[in-house]
Amino acid sequence: MLVDVMKLTPYHIKRAGFTMLEIVVVLSIMVLVIGIGFASFAVLDDQDPFEQPAQKLTQMSRFAIHASVLQQRAMTIAFDKKGFEILGSTVPEGSYYAVPSGMKVLIHRMGGRNWEKAEGHFWRFGEQGICEPIKVRFESPAGFRELKFHPLTGTSVD
């Protein structure tokens, strides 16, 4: 049996794999899709006007509950027309927070029927580390966010 040498040359064997051009095109498309995905998440994060006030009130409530236990004295968060503050103590991040203009702060106390303007209300934290379980609502023309606070931890619960 004779074997034809011309049939076994590398030029006649079909090569498997991808060309460099195909690999570059696929990688470029992947980078483009991933970049658009990250950009869309960054845009969504910047649009929540309630994140900072909610985070600041949660930080203040946690500070007040911890400070009241450590110092063995009552702490109070007072609400006024423009924001809220911790009375009688200096918080490292600032004891007063002014809510953005156009935003309202409402409070719903335990046993209450309706939401009330937060102006003039006081939220007390006892020496034993217990606070009143309240709900706080931040409202603006863009929408609203409600926070419900746990009486033992002073943090918001969902």
**Both 40 and 113 in a single domain?**
no
Give CA 23 to chain center in angstroms: 39
Domain co-membership, 97 together with 26 = no
Q: List, in sequence order, every residue forming a beta bridge with 137; answer none if it has no partner.
A: 106, 146
**pLDDT digit string, tens, across residues 54-87:** 999 999 999 999 999 999 999 999 999 999 999 8
The CATH code of the domain that includes 135 is: 3.55.40.10
* pLDDT tens per residue across span 4-48: 555 555 555 566 778 888 899 999 999 999 988 887 776 665 677
The CA distance from 125 to 77, in Å, is 8
- What's the domain count of the chain? 2
Q: Give the pLDDT band (50/70/90) at residue 50.
A: confident
- Give the CA radius of gyration of the chain: 30
Classify residue 109: in a domain, yes or no.
yes
Residue 82 in tokens: 């423009």
Residue 4: inside a domain, yes or no? no
Does residue 108 share a domain with residue 75?
Answer: yes
7 located within any domain:
no
